[in-house]
Amino acid sequence: SSAGGSAAFLITTPYSLCVCPEGQNITLTCRISGPLLDRHDLLYKTWYFSSNGDQSCSERKHIRNVTEKELHHEPGRHHELRGNGTQKSPLGGQANHHGVEFVSDHHGAFHIVVMNLTLQDSGNYCCYVVEARREHGKTQTLHVAHSFVELQIRQGEPSPRPAPALPSSLADITAAALATGACIVGILCLPLILLLIYKQRQAVSNRRTY
């Protein structure tokens, strides 16, 4: 909920369902739209995973059990961005652990990259954004928004095995054998052809004589 009843930002995803084959990489994206309560507020961005169809990932299960510390590459802290999108930490905000990478483009969008997908990666991926404010050394939550995208992994079908190719030497031998066989058949048929021509001429000669 937001404080003061003012308009709050929303979280949206470009797609509600993604289908991807095994072994591929996929980038899931969430976008922040709408006004922030205060441009000096802090934004905490994170992702969770649910394999049981929970659209809010209420169990707060991490993707491939990669903790937020590992995912955001900031020990003991969340990845913090100011409301205007500038990065507070000098670190790059990217870390690759167990094939999972968090990426923020600082233009109202942030992404999670999941690499070398397996069937166990099928499920809902929930992106959360928490807007908070620090006052007197305490952090006060102002607004929480989330969205999700369903990822389905297709099991790869084994491709048919190609027919074995003949070695070049064997192919040459086969072609030579066929050519030799054709020549032998032609030579054997030549006397028969000559005999037929001779008999035909003899028959014509006999008709003229008759």
Q: What is the pLDDT of residues 165-209, one digit of tens each?
A: 555 566 677 777 788 888 888 788 888 888 888 888 887 777 666
**Fold type of domain 10-74+94-165:** Immunoglobulin-like (2.60.40)
Average pLDDT, whole number, for the chain? 78
Q: How far is CA 199 from CA 87, 192, 194, 203, 205, in A?
A: 104, 11, 9, 6, 10
Give 118-146 pLDDT, tens digit per residue: 999 999 999 999 988 888 888 888 889 99
| pLDDT value, residue 167 | 56
pLDDT of residue 101: 92
Give pLDDT tens digits for 99-113: 999 998 777 899 999
Higher-confidence position of 170 and 18: 18
- Residue 161: which pLDDT band, with cuts at 50, 70 and 90? low
pLDDT of residue 87: 36
The whole-number average pLDDT for the span 46-69 is: 92
